[in-house]
Amino acid sequence: MLGLKLPRLLSIDQVPKVFREQGILFGYRHPRSSARDCLVSVFQMTNETINIWTHLLPSGYFLWKLFAFLLAWDVWNDPFAWPFLAYMATCCLYPLASTLAHTFSTMSSQARHICYFFDYSALALYSLGSAIAYSAYVFPEEWIGSTFHHGYVFMAVLNSVLSTTLSCYSRFTEAEQPTFTKVIRTVAFAYPYVFDSLPLFYRLYLCAARGCVESAIPTHYRHTALAFVTCFIYATHLPERLVPGLFDYFGHSHQLFHICAIIATYFQMEALLIDMADRRNRLLAYSLAPSFLQTMGPVAASLTISLLITAAFSTTLYSMSKFSRREKHRD
């Protein structure tokens, strides 16, 4: 292991445009890295290393929390716990998908796009998982059983499909229209979050107006504040855009984005656990707990559609690449 030769790192002008990050000048891996080189780079300091570990470790943590939940609750005999089970599964999935994307995205330009197609699909699925949990535990009592409540999860499924489609499409415009790409991708992730959070925002408003003392509210506030900070960091590329080259390895926006997103998810998870315990009797008095099909059906449907979308975009990418090689050969 001591004699292992680490892959050489490159500067921004040595990698194709599709691999470049705004404000990051050095620490790039080779754009045609082997799978072995990608795995080795997990333990080598590159401009992606912290990105990898800030989602690899949390994915293990959330998986541990999922197993702890399964041991602590009689999940199979308690339908009220099923929405949280679906939510926790998506919490485990999205950081793991991100870890794999950041690890293997330098195998080729096509591999980079496909890796992030799966990353975006996992994020969209996480937004649906949040909606399923919010529908079961977070809705204000005034909205339970309303038309909006009945259609809420269905709309969240459509939003996850829209999010996956827009974010995957944005990979095709990245090189030529970076600003347009950033807007599309930000909207693709921000819109489902805002929609999912409408019941929470209304509940926070009611608590502020009425001076309620629900124990989950402070934790919901922390989650909401961090979610907005996460979006701001992702959209602005701060701080590296102000001092290019200074934050190549530590402290650039994508690392901060990962850290804030994970902490926000942690607070969201804790708030949901509090609401599950504190509001159980009140919520079940208004409506029955969702069935296993009503809980896992939307997740399965969204996952299937997202995989089909990812396959379609990957096929299109391959066809475009093949056509481009043909044109170059003719020239």
CA dist 229 and 256 (Å) reads 10
- Show the beta-strand stretches assigned E in the chain: 10-11, 26-28
Amino acid at 163: S
CA dist 247 and 240 (Å) reads 6
CA dist 212 and 221 (Å) reads 14
pLDDT of residue 322: 61
pTM of the model: 0.94
Q: Are 114 and 90 in contact (CB under 8 A)?
A: no
* Cα-based distances in Å from 12 to 31, 188, 237, 245: 11, 28, 16, 10
* Token pair listed for 128: 């649906």
Tens of pLDDT, residues 199-258: 999 999 999 888 888 899 999 999 999 999 999 999 999 999 999 999 999 999 999 999
How is the chain split into domains, by residue range?
14-323
The answer on pLDDT for 2 being more than 70 is no
CA dist 299 and 168 (Å) reads 19
The answer on pLDDT for 22 being more than 80 is yes
In the chain, count H helices and then E strands. Answer: 9, 2
CATH number of 14-323: 1.20.1070
In the block, tokens 């998986």 appear at: 63
* Token pair listed for 218: 């402070």
CA dist 328 and 310 (Å) reads 27
Tens of pLDDT, residues 58-94: 999 999 999 999 998 888 889 999 999 999 999 999 9
What is the average pLDDT across 253-280? Answer: 97
The answer on pLDDT for 323 being more than 70 is no
What is the average pLDDT across 279-291? Answer: 87
pLDDT of residue 330: 53
The answer on pLDDT for 1 being more than 60 is no
